[in-house]
Amino acid sequence: MSTTAELPVAGKLSTLDRFLPLWIGAAMLVGILLSRLVPGLGDTLGAVEIDGVSLPIAIGLLIMMYPVLAKVRYDRLDTVTGDRKLMISSLALNWIFGPALMFALAWIFLSDLPEYRTGLIIVGLARCIAMVIIWNDLACGDREAAAVLVALNSVFQVFMFAALGWFYLSVLPGWLGLERTQIDTSPWDIATSVLFFLGIPLVAGYLSRRIGERAKGRAWYESTFLPAIGPWALYGLLFTIVILFALQGQQITAHPWDVARIALPLLVYFAVMWGGGFALGAVLGLGYARTTTLAFTAAGNNFELAIAVAIATYGASSGEALAGVVGPLIEVPVLVGLVYVSLVLRKRFAADAF
């Protein structure tokens, strides 16, 4: 992926990247068609699970994340951890503003649909640790910053997910005189999920760079090895989308009006979180790359965790699970669109306008 400032925005993307919305739309359609045309496919794909996530999806996520994490220059991470403005802003957006915003939107738009409302709140609590790495990379964000912020979100997810679930589903509604519900998950369940879905590709990416640079040098590693494995990130993304929608396509097509009801607050959520993150980064003078990383890490959500928790707590056919499934249905195309918005802004503010 070229990063030269003189090229048009579209020219900064490879052919695979440039037509990504088309590939993603096709992947969604293929998954939904498979769910309708192949009886029992969802049961077969979901027969083997890892921490409540279908094994094929788990494989797709690992394939998707490894190439991007192999690109990270781990010797530069200290420059990110020393950026207090970035770290504090990310924590505030992800763990204070994001869950509160989703709680408000869920009650505003879905006050009469308690199952969908609860599922949406769970989505808001699951901060992104996977696909955000792809969106950030496509938008030419700071890879090292993304790796650090994703790791930070992972640690907070282990300790905060269950506590915030209890607060937003039981305590806060009680204070406001609203209907209460509950969530049944443990920090250990979330920790094992984080260790698997982030830990494995992170260790693999780190070892690839260390071993590759020692054996062949950084020039070979970045000019030969990384271009060879780079496309696999998007192959993994598309494979994951096909499997996800093959698993849940029946629910999506059986409840089109409900999907539309759930989609509206999600659209508002992604727009506010990404726009707010980008505006905050610009005000703080973080520069384009880190501003972009801040915006995408704030807007993305860990849909695989949200779906797994909803299924484990309320059942695979529950409204809570459907709300979790609608999450990536809306998130994926919206954030792909925001990748292009980011690249337009990058061109406009190329002369260090941030």
- Distance from C-alpha of 336 to C-alpha of 32, rounded to nearest angstrom: 20
pLDDT score, position 50: 65
3-state secondary structure of 126: coil
**Tell me: the pLDDT tens digits for 189-219?**
677 777 777 788 888 989 999 999 999 999 9
Mean pLDDT of 215-237: 90
| 147 or 106, higher pLDDT | 106
The model's confidence at residue 115, banded by pLDDT at 50, 70 and 90, is very high
Among residues 170, 94, 125, the alpha carbon closest in space to that of 308 is found at 125
The model's confidence at residue 6, banded by pLDDT at 50, 70 and 90, is very low
pLDDT score, position 10: 40
pLDDT score, position 3: 39
Q: Lowest-pLDDT range, 7-11, 16-20, 209-213, 223-227?
A: 7-11
Q: Lowest-pLDDT range, 68-72, 107-111, 151-155, 303-307?
A: 303-307
Among residues 328, 130, 134, 333, the alpha carbon closest in space to that of 248 is found at 328
Cα-trace Rg, the chain? 20
pLDDT score, position 4: 38
Which domains are delineated in the chain?
14-343 (1.20.1530.20)
- Distance from C-alpha of 334 to C-alpha of 183, rounded to nearest angstrom: 28
Number of neighbours of residue 289 by Cβ within 10 angstroms: 20
Phi-psi region of 207 (alpha: psi -120 to 50; beta: other; left: phi over 0): alpha
- Distance from C-alpha of 186 to C-alpha of 193, rounded to nearest angstrom: 11
- Distance from C-alpha of 301 to C-alpha of 294, rounded to nearest angstrom: 13
**DSSP element (H, E) containing 304:** helix 303-314
Q: Enumerate residues 6+ apart whose C-beta is below 8 A from 255.
A: 322
pLDDT > 90? residue 268: yes
Among residues 104, 116, 264, 121, the alpha carbon closest in space to that of 176 is found at 104
Main-chain dihedrals φ then ψ at residue 269, nearest 5 degrees: -60, -50
Mean pLDDT (the chain, rounded) = 83
Mean pLDDT of 255-259: 86
Give me the residue label for tokens 């192999």.
Answer: 70
pLDDT score, position 96: 96
- Distance from C-alpha of 178 to C-alpha of 171, rounded to nearest angstrom: 10
| 24 or 354, higher pLDDT | 24
3-state secondary structure of 49: strand
Q: Find the angle CA(163)-CA(181)-CA(334) to the nearest 5 degrees.
A: 75
Number of neighbours of residue 2 by Cβ within 10 angstroms: 10
- Distance from C-alpha of 307 to C-alpha of 316, rounded to nearest angstrom: 9
Among residues 111, 304, 113, 133, the alpha carbon closest in space to that of 230 is found at 133
pLDDT > 80? residue 231: yes
- Distance from C-alpha of 292 to C-alpha of 295, rounded to nearest angstrom: 5
pTM: 0.79
Q: Find the angle CA(122)-CA(126)-CA(130) to the nearest 5 degrees.
A: 145
What is the greatest pairwise CA distance in the chain?
A: 64
pLDDT > 90? residue 137: no
